[in-house]
Copies of this chain bind each other. A is one copy, B any other.
Amino acid sequence: MQRWKLTLEYDGRPFVGWQRQDNGPSVQQTLEEAIERLSGETVRVHTSGRTDAGVHALGQVCHFDLEKPFTGLKLRDALNFHLRPAPVAVLLAEAVPEDFHARMTCLGRSYVFRIVNRRAPLALETGRAWHVMRPLDAEAMHAAAQVLVGRHDFTSFRAALCQANSPVKTLERLAVERVGEEVRVHAAARSFLHHQVRNMVGTLELVGAGKWSADDLRRALEARNRSAAGPTAPPDGLYFVNARY
Report whether A123 and B88 are in contact in the complex, using a CB–CB cutoff of 8 Å: yes
* A136 CB → nearest B CB, Å: 18
Is A1 at the interface (CB under 8 A from chain B)?
A: no
Copies per complex of this chain? 2
Is A118 at the interface (CB under 8 A from chain B)?
A: yes
Q: Which of A74-102 contact B (CB under 8 A)?
A: 76-77, 80, 84, 87-92
Report whether A124 and B10 are in contact in the complex, using a CB–CB cutoff of 8 Å: yes
Is A56 at the interface (CB under 8 A from chain B)?
A: yes
Query: With A and B bound together, what is the CA distance between A193 and B98 in angstroms?
Result: 58
Report whether B9 and A124 are in contact in the complex, using a CB–CB cutoff of 8 Å: yes
Is A168 at the interface (CB under 8 A from chain B)?
A: no
* A183 CB → nearest B CB, Å: 17
Report whether B76 and A120 are in contact in the complex, using a CB–CB cutoff of 8 Å: yes
Q: Which of A56, A77, A119 has the most CB of B within 10 A?
A: A119
Instruction: Knowing A87-B126, A126-B87, say if A121 contacts B80 (CB, 8 Å).
Output: yes
Is A143 at the interface (CB under 8 A from chain B)?
A: no
Residue of B nearest to A126 (CB): B87
* A79 CB → nearest B CB, Å: 10
* A80 CB → nearest B CB, Å: 5
Residues in chain B near residue A128, CB distance under 8 A:
124
Residues in chain B near residue A8, CB distance under 8 A:
123
Query: With A and B bound together, what is the CA distance between A54 and B118 in angstroms?
Result: 25
Chain A interfacial positions (CB closer than 8 Å to B):
8-11, 56, 58, 76-77, 80, 84, 87-92, 118-124, 126, 128
Name 13 interchain pairs, CB-CB below 8 A, sorted by A: A9-B120, A9-B123, A11-B123, A11-B124, A56-B124, A58-B124, A76-B119, A87-B124, A87-B126, A89-B121, A89-B122, A90-B120, A91-B120
